[in-house]
A = this chain, B = another copy of it.
Amino acid sequence: MKSEKEIFDNYLIKKNLRETPQRGLILDTFLKHEEHISAEQLYDIVKKRDPSLGQATVYRVLKLIVEAGLAREVDLGDGVMRYEHNYNHPHHDHLVCRGCGKTIGVFDSVIEELQKRVAESYGFELTDHEMYLYGFCENCRKRKQ
Protein backbone atom coordinates (compact mmCIF):
# COMPACT_ATOMS: atom_id res chain seq x y z
CA MET A 1 0.00 0.00 0.00
CA LYS A 2 1.43 3.30 -1.15
CA SER A 3 1.66 6.28 1.15
CA GLU A 4 -0.24 9.45 0.35
CA LYS A 5 3.06 11.19 -0.24
CA GLU A 6 4.02 8.61 -2.86
CA ILE A 7 0.69 8.93 -4.59
CA PHE A 8 1.02 12.69 -4.72
CA ASP A 9 4.57 12.53 -6.05
CA ASN A 10 3.56 10.02 -8.68
CA TYR A 11 0.75 12.30 -9.74
CA LEU A 12 3.15 15.23 -10.06
CA ILE A 13 5.55 13.16 -12.15
CA LYS A 14 2.74 11.92 -14.38
CA LYS A 15 1.66 15.48 -15.04
CA ASN A 16 5.19 16.83 -15.44
CA LEU A 17 4.80 18.98 -12.36
CA ARG A 18 7.48 19.65 -9.80
CA GLU A 19 7.87 18.69 -6.22
CA THR A 20 8.31 21.90 -4.26
CA PRO A 21 8.65 22.79 -0.58
CA GLN A 22 5.31 24.61 -0.67
CA ARG A 23 3.52 21.63 -2.13
CA GLY A 24 5.14 19.35 0.41
CA LEU A 25 4.19 21.55 3.33
CA ILE A 26 0.61 22.02 2.21
CA LEU A 27 0.11 18.31 1.58
CA ASP A 28 1.65 17.35 4.93
CA THR A 29 -0.51 19.85 6.77
CA PHE A 30 -3.62 18.63 5.02
CA LEU A 31 -2.81 15.02 5.80
CA LYS A 32 -2.22 15.71 9.48
CA HIS A 33 -5.62 17.31 9.78
CA GLU A 34 -8.21 14.56 10.10
CA GLU A 35 -11.40 16.62 9.88
CA HIS A 36 -12.45 18.49 6.78
CA ILE A 37 -10.75 21.82 6.35
CA SER A 38 -11.21 24.94 4.23
CA ALA A 39 -8.53 26.59 2.12
CA GLU A 40 -8.43 29.50 4.53
CA GLN A 41 -8.05 27.31 7.60
CA LEU A 42 -5.28 25.40 5.89
CA TYR A 43 -3.61 28.66 4.90
CA ASP A 44 -3.69 29.88 8.50
CA ILE A 45 -1.91 26.74 9.70
CA VAL A 46 0.62 26.61 6.90
CA LYS A 47 1.47 30.29 7.27
CA LYS A 48 2.93 29.61 10.71
CA ARG A 49 5.56 27.34 9.20
CA ASP A 50 6.23 29.47 6.16
CA PRO A 51 4.96 33.04 6.48
CA SER A 52 5.96 33.85 2.92
CA LEU A 53 3.59 31.30 1.47
CA GLY A 54 0.73 32.89 -0.47
CA GLN A 55 -2.87 31.83 -0.19
CA ALA A 56 -3.21 31.43 -3.94
CA THR A 57 -0.74 28.58 -3.63
CA VAL A 58 -2.94 26.90 -1.06
CA TYR A 59 -5.87 27.00 -3.47
CA ARG A 60 -3.69 25.70 -6.27
CA VAL A 61 -2.18 22.83 -4.30
CA LEU A 62 -5.52 21.86 -2.82
CA LYS A 63 -6.78 21.41 -6.35
CA LEU A 64 -3.80 19.19 -7.14
CA ILE A 65 -4.44 17.11 -4.04
CA VAL A 66 -8.02 16.55 -5.20
CA GLU A 67 -6.87 15.65 -8.71
CA ALA A 68 -4.38 13.18 -7.26
CA GLY A 69 -7.32 11.49 -5.55
CA LEU A 70 -6.16 12.25 -2.02
CA ALA A 71 -8.95 14.67 -1.11
CA ARG A 72 -12.54 15.26 -2.01
CA GLU A 73 -14.55 18.44 -1.85
CA VAL A 74 -17.32 18.90 0.69
CA ASP A 75 -19.85 21.61 -0.05
CA LEU A 76 -21.96 22.30 3.01
CA GLY A 77 -23.72 25.13 1.23
CA ASP A 78 -22.27 28.00 3.23
CA GLY A 79 -20.15 29.33 0.41
CA VAL A 80 -16.89 27.83 1.65
CA MET A 81 -15.51 24.68 0.10
CA ARG A 82 -13.99 22.20 2.47
CA TYR A 83 -11.66 19.30 1.78
CA GLU A 84 -11.49 15.92 3.41
CA HIS A 85 -9.30 12.86 3.08
CA ASN A 86 -10.11 10.52 0.25
CA TYR A 87 -7.48 7.83 0.72
CA ASN A 88 -8.02 5.09 3.24
CA HIS A 89 -11.06 7.15 4.15
CA PRO A 90 -13.84 5.53 2.16
CA HIS A 91 -16.77 7.44 0.76
CA HIS A 92 -19.32 8.64 3.24
CA ASP A 93 -22.09 11.18 3.43
CA HIS A 94 -22.66 13.87 6.03
CA LEU A 95 -24.96 14.38 8.94
CA VAL A 96 -24.92 18.05 9.90
CA CYS A 97 -26.36 19.65 13.02
CA ARG A 98 -28.32 22.81 12.29
CA GLY A 99 -27.71 23.90 15.86
CA CYS A 100 -23.98 23.65 16.45
CA GLY A 101 -22.68 22.74 13.01
CA LYS A 102 -21.20 19.45 14.14
CA THR A 103 -20.80 17.07 11.22
CA ILE A 104 -20.56 13.30 11.28
CA GLY A 105 -19.57 11.08 8.40
CA VAL A 106 -22.16 8.38 7.77
CA PHE A 107 -22.48 5.50 5.37
CA ASP A 108 -25.41 3.23 4.53
CA SER A 109 -24.85 0.61 1.88
CA VAL A 110 -28.56 0.15 1.28
CA ILE A 111 -29.02 3.80 0.49
CA GLU A 112 -26.03 3.62 -1.84
CA GLU A 113 -27.58 0.69 -3.68
CA LEU A 114 -30.96 2.38 -3.95
CA GLN A 115 -29.38 5.51 -5.34
CA LYS A 116 -27.86 3.46 -8.11
CA ARG A 117 -31.21 1.89 -8.87
CA VAL A 118 -33.08 5.17 -8.93
CA ALA A 119 -30.54 6.57 -11.37
CA GLU A 120 -30.75 3.49 -13.57
CA SER A 121 -34.51 3.65 -13.65
CA TYR A 122 -34.11 6.96 -15.48
CA GLY A 123 -31.48 5.59 -17.83
CA PHE A 124 -28.63 7.25 -15.94
CA GLU A 125 -25.31 5.70 -15.16
CA LEU A 126 -24.47 6.95 -11.69
CA THR A 127 -20.95 8.26 -11.19
CA ASP A 128 -21.19 9.84 -7.78
CA HIS A 129 -23.53 11.60 -5.42
CA GLU A 130 -23.82 14.00 -2.53
CA MET A 131 -26.10 13.50 0.41
CA TYR A 132 -26.39 15.87 3.33
CA LEU A 133 -28.69 15.04 6.21
CA TYR A 134 -29.60 18.04 8.34
CA GLY A 135 -31.10 17.96 11.80
CA PHE A 136 -30.43 18.60 15.44
CA CYS A 137 -27.99 16.60 17.49
CA GLU A 138 -28.80 15.31 20.94
CA ASN A 139 -27.06 18.17 22.75
CA CYS A 140 -28.76 20.86 20.74
CA ARG A 141 -32.17 19.27 21.25
CA LYS A 142 -31.66 19.22 25.01
CA ARG A 143 -30.49 22.82 24.98
CA LYS A 144 -33.61 23.94 23.13
CA GLN A 145 -36.02 22.57 25.68
In the assembled complex, the CB of A37 is this many whole angstroms from the nearest CB of chain B, namely 19
CA distance A122 to B132 in the complex (A): 14
Interface residues on A, range: 20 to 34
| Interface assignment of A129: CB less than 8 Å from any CB of chain B | yes
Instruction: Report A's interface with B, CB cutoff 8 A.
Output: 75, 77, 95, 97-98, 104, 106, 108, 110-111, 114-115, 118-119, 122-138, 141
24 A-B interface contacts by CB (under 8 A): A75-B75, A77-B130, A95-B118, A95-B124, A104-B122, A106-B118, A106-B122, A108-B114, A108-B118, A111-B111, A111-B114, A114-B114, A115-B131, A118-B133, A119-B133, A123-B137, A124-B133, A124-B135, A124-B136, A128-B135, A129-B131, A129-B132, A129-B134, A130-B132
